Amino acid sequence: MTPFQRTALRAACLIRQRIVERWHSPSRTAFPDGFCHRLHRLLRLIEIARYRAWPAAVRHLTQDLAREVECSRQRLVEFAHQLQQTSPKHLPTEAEIFHEIMAVQDEFGEVEIDLAEGAIAITTDPIVLDDMHLGPFQIRLDIGRLPGRQSYRCVALEPNPAAANEAVTHPHVQDERLCEGDGRAAIESALNAGRLCDFFLIVSRLLNTYARGSAYIEISDWEGIRCQDCGGMTYEDDRCHCERCDSDLCGECCLSCQGCQRGLCSECMTTCHRCGENYCRSCLTACRSCHEKCCENCLEDGLCENCHDQPDDDVSESDAEGSADTPEDVRENKRWISELLENTGRAVPTARAGATV
């Protein structure tokens, strides 16, 4: 027996043990969690986008919500199916599982067995979908989690993730989890019966398949860039960025400051209180009277139109005279008075606020 065969036999014993424990366990099912939080988060984002009148963001987030609802439905269907499952009439033996591992080696050429981590893995050929090169994937089966659906991962070895979400390395893989679609029942049946070769073949074929309309991100949007304002997809030739926070924007969402002409996002842009034109905060000045932010075209002598047209009685005495001392003036006056009195040998009297020389 070769070293690989000895390792495969030990792995077969571990897999057999896990399958037997799974079917003889008092509780084989676990309620799928996490999806409720994701659904609530998407609903909240849609509310925000509607409030800010971002129709493109509403459209894209609604599509994301529809996909998440479908995945959640599949998880709940699987949970209901697990509740109704009965133990199979025949559980695989160590010898049968051993022969399955050898069949995997014959099919894929190389099998990685890591007993320390309790994993069996194969590597697919480089995957190309609609002329999009996604590189090879490692299908890694976790023996300790057998035979549940979450017992394996699809790891991109030369990742070419979607521009909008680096966790999506394949139209149907997010966070190394495969959205199995119609292949779910076949994968579950193969794992329950210990048919490892069938399992790896099914997952490999799914990775080489692209189902439009059910992908996390469509291939046509793979190299796009998500606009930080509207949430829509844009491309390199139409991409711009905020010159203040450097966020990516589409051409429609890039706003130009009427003062300095810088391109900014909606968060970094504001408007003149008087004329309503787009300005960055650096190009606006507060009115000396009402302190509202206005552009230079809407200010005269430091006052906005409303404050400039007010009668003189309504203007504060300090603004009308324009000669009242500032705190800095008071301190300077006190310093000169102190020096003057010291030269004459007299004590320094307490200066009254606002006193001038």
Q: Are 235 and 225 in contact (CB under 8 A)?
A: yes
Flag whether pLDDT at 352 surpasses 50: no
Specify which of 40-49, 80-89, 125-134 reaches the highest per-range mean pLDDT: 125-134
In the chain, where are the structural domains located? 3-28+85-221, 250-313
User: Given pLDDT bands bounded at 50, 70 and 90, which one contains residue 327?
Assistant: low
Residue 98 is predicted with a pLDDT of: 95
Q: Could you give phi then psi for residue 137, rounded to 5 degrees?
A: -125, 145
pTM of the model: 0.55
Flag whether pLDDT at 308 surpasses 80: no
- pLDDT for 127-145, tens place per residue? 999 999 999 999 999 998 8
Flag whether pLDDT at 291 surpasses 80: yes
Q: Among 169-178, 217-226, 295-304, whose mean pLDDT is lowest? A: 217-226
**What tokens appear for 10 in the block?**
């030990």
10 Å Cβ neighbour count for 74?
16
- pLDDT for 89-112, tens place per residue? 678 899 999 999 999 999 998 899
CATH architecture of 3-28+85-221: Roll (3.10)
The DSSP annotation for 4-56 comes to HHHHHHHHHHHHHHHHHHHHHSS-------SHHHHHHHHHHHHHHHHHTT-HH
